[in-house]
Structure 1
Amino acid sequence: MERNVEVLSTITIQNSPDLYKIVDCLNRTLKEKNLMFGLALNNEKKAIFTIYRT
């Protein structure tokens, strides 16, 4: 079963040790709304936060 994933928004922000906790909470709370949240680090050690619709 193939699912389309649509990027709704992406923002680059200052990294923080607790950002993953926010992303985890959002994913657990809003998965029933077909939303998914991602967090990655770029080359400058900034956090890239992305919101997806699944």
Structure 2
Amino acid sequence: MQEQEKGKLDLIATKNFKTNTELAYVVDFLNKNLKDKNIMFGLTKDKQKNEMTINIYEF
């Protein structure tokens, strides 16, 4: 694996789901428990499509 630039996030996975408010709690839980593994999760909501997207980043 190449050395990454400090502070740079690399997107490693994306998954779409139907809108579910519980996903925000899951992403928060994962971020709190996996930050020492250099993994971060993001969550976006598309109201028009009624979808949420989880992104997984490595830093």
- Asked if these proteins are the same fold (TM beyond 0.5), I'd say yes
Q: Which residue in 2 is equivalent to 1:15?
A: 19
Equivalent pairs, count:
53
Task: Report the TM-score, using the length of structure 1 for normalisation.
Answer: 0.89
Alignment of 1:1-54 (within 5 A): 2-42=6-46, 43-54=48-59
Stretches (4+) displaced over 4 A: none
> What TM-score results when the alignment is normalised by the length of structure 2?
0.82
Query: Structure 1 regions of 5+ residues with no counterpart?
Result: none
Q: CA deviation at 1:45?
A: 2.3
Query: What is the RMSD of the two structures over their aligned residues, measured on CA atoms?
Result: 1.0
